[in-house]
Amino acid sequence: MPFYSAYKALGHYPDYWYWKLRPYPKRPPHLLKQRTVREYGKRHSLRTLVETGTYHGEMVAALKNDFDHIFSIECDSELARRASRRFDANPKIRILQGESQVVLPELIKSLAEPALFWLDAGYYSWAGLPRDLQRLPTELAAILGHSVRGHVVLIDDADTLRGLEGAMTVDELPSRLTAHYPGRHVEVIDNIVRITPEHSPKAELD
């Protein structure tokens, strides 16, 4: 649908207030995710955003004025084509088509300063689709092992990391990451994994 992204955007505020007024909210609305990414970018003075899972470009559209450079990686060729056409006139935005565990490690080699990464863990819950269980570990290794220090990582849909078919669980993340990449603080708030440099400013969200 050509206007599906605009249709979805119209529902962000109603979805947010529905989430806010529920007694035991579980699924954070997209508006909260946008605010989280924006807030972490500001608190850590990060001017580059790297996203995996462009989908309909909602996050890119919401944050296009908050970063100097935005890279969004989409594995689906049709979704990538639509997003490229949508943001083609904006020189600060690049849509990259391909598998993120392949594209991201190559992209990160070109980064000369710390960036904010918004990674999609929801990939693990897609039923009936082939999944590379090393996708997220490969991406994290590329980011946290990069020679540039100070990268901040946010991982969406933390509850989908349930150890299916040998994949890591969200409970295993903190110990695994701090063991292999010391000097990081790892926490899960509002179903978003937040990996920040130790002793860095913490974001306070409404």
pLDDT of residue 151: 97
What's the confidence (pLDDT) of residue 65?
A: 97
Both tokens of 143, joined, read 């980011």
Using CA atoms, how far apart are residues 137 and 146, in angstroms rounded to an integer? 14
Stretch 166-195: mean pLDDT: 85
- For residue 127, is pLDDT > 60? no
Average pLDDT of the segment spanning 173-199: 89
Per residue in 91-114, pLDDT (tens digit) is 999 999 999 999 999 999 999 999
Any idea where the domains of the chain sit in the sequence? Answer: 34-197
User: How confident is residue 134, by pLDDT bands cut at 50, 70 and 90?
Assistant: confident
pLDDT at 206 over 90: no
Name 75's bridge partners.
Answer: none
Least confident of 44-53, 178-187, 195-204: 195-204
What is residue 178's predicted lDDT score, i.e. its pLDDT? Answer: 85
Q: Give the tens place of pLDDT for each residue, 2-40.
A: 555 555 565 665 666 566 666 555 678 889 999 999 999
Q: Domain 34-197 is of which CATH architecture? A: 3-Layer(aba) Sandwich (3.40)
pTM comes to 0.83
